[in-house]
Amino acid sequence: MKHLEPQHVCGQGTERNLPPNSSVEVELQVKDHVATVISTLNYQNKEDKPIEALFVFPLPGDAAVCHFSADIGQTHIVAELKEKQQAREEYDDALSSGQQAFLLEESEQSPDIFSLSVGSLPPGESASIMLQYVIELAVEADGALRFCLPAVLNPRYQPQGPGVPVSSVPASEIPYSLSFSARVSSPRPVSKVESSCSLEPLQYLNTDHTEAAVKLAAGHKFDRDVELLIYYKDAHQPSAVVEAGQDSAKPGTLMGDPVVMVSLYPEFPESVMSKRASCGEFVFLVDRSGSMQCPTNNWNQQETRISSARDTLLLLLKSLPMGCYFNIYGFGSRYDHIFPKSVEYSEKSMEEALKKVEVMQADLGGTEILQPLQHIYSQPCISNQPRQLFVFTDGEVGNTKEVLDLVRKNAGSHRCFSFGIGEGASSALINGLAQEGRGHAQFITGSDRMQAKVMQSLKFALQPVVKDISVTWDLPKGVSATVLSPPITTIFQGQRSLVYAQLSGKSSQTDCSVTVNYTLGDHPYESKQQFNLNPAKDTGLTVHRLAARILIRSLESEERENRGKSNEDMKRKVVELSVQSGVSSHHTAFIAVNKDNGDAVQGPLVRRNVPTPGSPMMAMCSAPVGAAVPEQPRRDPLLQLVSLQKASGCWLLDAALASVLGKTSEEVEKSKPAEVSSEVWATILALIWLHGFKMDAKDEWELLAVKAASWVQAQNAPCVKECVDAANALLGYKVQKDALGL
């Protein structure tokens, strides 16, 4: 039997009509900012012939998959991790001799897609398959830790070349049921847990609220990602965990030595942070493939991903500093740009760009991101204007590794901020773009507003750049640290930096520290974390496995960079480390063979490609290429007000502004203090309206309000306080002058 690659499968052809009887049970254990996920798939062969079932499913791209086992009847088989080709051959041999076997492997194209082959299941037989992985949880802008269980495997767009994209099946055709429970423990109290799905009430398991449990409410259809946001009190405290090595492993090896995981939150003094950058080249790369016509979420069919992207670009363009440079690219099977090269930001260039943004549609076909990136990188950088790339995509890309390699090669010349839009965006692509491009990643799902998350990233892009980052260890004599993580290349305010190191040697002294030194706004700073060599209790081998995953991924990318050079040697290193640590890699696969199942399974095997829960929208929401999509009139008064702002930051006193403020032109004119120019009056009115009426969306308009306040100050206008009082009286608010930044 020839082994199929994962992308050839999953719910194609007539087999769609043979849904399995399957259930998925997921148990999540969160310790501080690290999660262990135990996922069990129960599957029964309801046919009258023996079958081989093939599942394709998504996992987070940065997960360390570390255990795989199966139960058939009374037999429990634990899989072994072996070199991939050897594992495939053992699987095929087992099937041809009538034995039951299981094979789990990572896709060639992207580390966030796995395929599972379940072989020789006799009629009526059930199998229960358990998979375990560990993962670090990302920090959101509001301090939450984000866990996402991907349910949706969108079809990945494969640029020319072999391989059929994985097809997605409407969830209604798949009778999967999901039970999901989470247990959270931390040194700090758990303040709340939120989700895009319905949860049962949070239960505290102890009096100081440092342990809590939560379950998904009954009746959840596994048709979208399950996102959990975990909030701790005093969330972001630096910490260090030392984990003892494995007794059975040799000292000196990764698994035999202790490993320390240090999480740091460097301080950003307010005096430095108030100085936002007023320069930069901002390049916005927007996905305009057909799938961007899908609704952003399942319950608001009106708002499409592309309309949300248009509103976001409006806010971004209004928030850019005068004197910077910018350009906007759209990409699908082909790409286009608004200007031949980045242009200086002015009223004229901003207006020209906005006209084109307003008519932007999801009409460019597939998701081919490599060529526009190559074109952007081929443009010379502008001196004293650091390049900041913003990538918006629903992440349905097949050649993820190639894209990330390109970003890594160009990491020295730019920073990359990435946004995964909608369910099923590839975590390997979105997180990878930000990691390789020294930027920041955001996922926009459920009821999230894209605008708030994107403006958070723009604030990061405008933050003073942290330079000269170095990490030093202070360890007792006789103990040394080998750093396993790639060097820290970027630090943002409120974000965590993680460092893993292998500790070798012994000492009676146990006090240690690690210090990160860095330069910010031409001043040196340091962030220090003390820790103790005594190992933490009950960590399993979580820290070792996360460290192994980091090492495996960096070896794999080194191998791709050195194609042709000593590749066998690199591959051998990856296989050795993967097998030793029990963490899967590109070159290994988990294989389990049931050697004691008595009688061989008789008769020819029927192959079944089992559809995984796919996005229910995919089948119906791709608009035909070139089709004009009727636009909903823009009703959001905030976006109306923003669209009237000039590039310099001011507003003009006209009927359109009066209408957004809910007043007539006469009322607005009549209330203006005599000695003030109409632009200053209009701008103060707009600022008062934003602070009085739209505080809940402050994340979205904060930067353009700062720009407006700076413009007012630059006018040296008389009677600003009288203006503020008159504007408050007209609009019925009580906003203080200081709150406006005047």
Element (H, E) at 710: helix 698-714
Query: What CATH number matches the domain at 277-463, 3.40.50.300, 3.30.1180.20, 3.40.50.1970, 3.40.50.410?
Result: 3.40.50.410
Please say whether the structural domain 239-272+466-579 has been given the CATH code 2.40.50: no
The pLDDT, as a whole number, for residue 300 is 61
Region for 564 from its dihedrals, namely left if φ exceeds 0, alpha if ψ lies in -120 to 50, beta otherwise:
left
- 182 bridge partner residues: 28, 214
Q: How far apart are alpha carbons 462 and 384 in whole angstroms?
A: 14
In the chain, the amino acid numbered 206 is N
The pLDDT, as a whole number, for residue 603 is 65
The residue written with tokens 């097809």 in the block is 167
pTM of the model: 0.80
Q: How far apart are alpha carbons 711 and 447 in whole angstroms?
A: 34
DSSP conformational letter for 237: -
DSSP conformational letter for 508: S
Contact 168, 56 (CB under 8 A): no
Question: In 3D, which of 186, 169, 271 has the Cα closest to residue 521?
Answer: 271
Please name the CATH architecture into which domain 6-235+611-616 falls.
Sandwich (2.60)
- For every residue of 321-380, which 3-state class applies, written as one string? CCCCEEEEEEECCCEEECCCCCEECCHHHHHHHHHHHHCCCCCCCCCCCHHHHHHHHHCC
The residue written with tokens 């060599």 in the block is 533
Rg (CA), the chain: 28
Burial zone of 215 (CB within 10 Å; 0-12 exposed, 13-18 middle, 19+ buried) = middle
Q: How far apart are alpha carbons 267 and 156 in whole angstroms?
A: 40
In the chain, the amino acid numbered 216 is L
84-88 long-range Cβ contacts below 8 angstroms, 24+ apart: 84/587, 84/588, 84/589, 87/588, 87/589, 87/590, 87/591, 88/3, 88/589
Two tokens, residue 6: 């994962």
In the chain, the amino acid numbered 314 is L
The residue written with tokens 């409407």 in the block is 170
Phi, psi angles (nearest 5°) of residue 475:
-125, 155
Question: In 3D, which of 356, 357, 366, 223 has the Cα closest to residue 291?
Answer: 366
Q: Would you list the domain boundaries of the chain? A: 6-235+611-616, 239-272+466-579, 277-463, 637-740
Strands 211-215 and 203-204: antiparallel
Contact 64, 551 (CB under 8 A): no
Q: How far apart are alpha carbons 246 and 368 in whole angstroms?
A: 45
Q: How many residues are recorded in the chain?
A: 742
Q: How far apart are alpha carbons 464 and 535 in whole angstroms?
A: 37
Question: In 3D, which of 180, 255, 218, 250 has the Cα closest to residue 30?
Answer: 180
Mean pLDDT per 10-residue section of the chain, whose length is 742 residues: 31 34 87 94 87 85 93 91 96 91 89 88 89 92 86 56 40 65 94 91 95 89 81 84 92 94 84 75 94 75 84 91 94 94 96 95 90 95 90 83 91 88 85 90 77 84 83 94 88 83 92 91 87 86 96 88 73 95 96 79 71 40 41 72 94 94 93 92 96 89 92 89 94 91 85
- Note whether 6-235+611-616 and 239-272+466-579 share their fold: yes
The pLDDT, as a whole number, for residue 624 is 39
Q: How far apart are alpha carbons 629 and 127 in whole angstroms?
A: 47
The pLDDT, as a whole number, for residue 460 is 85
Residues 6 or more apart whose Cβ sits within 8 Å of residue 591: 79, 80, 82, 87, 90, 91, 101, 102, 103
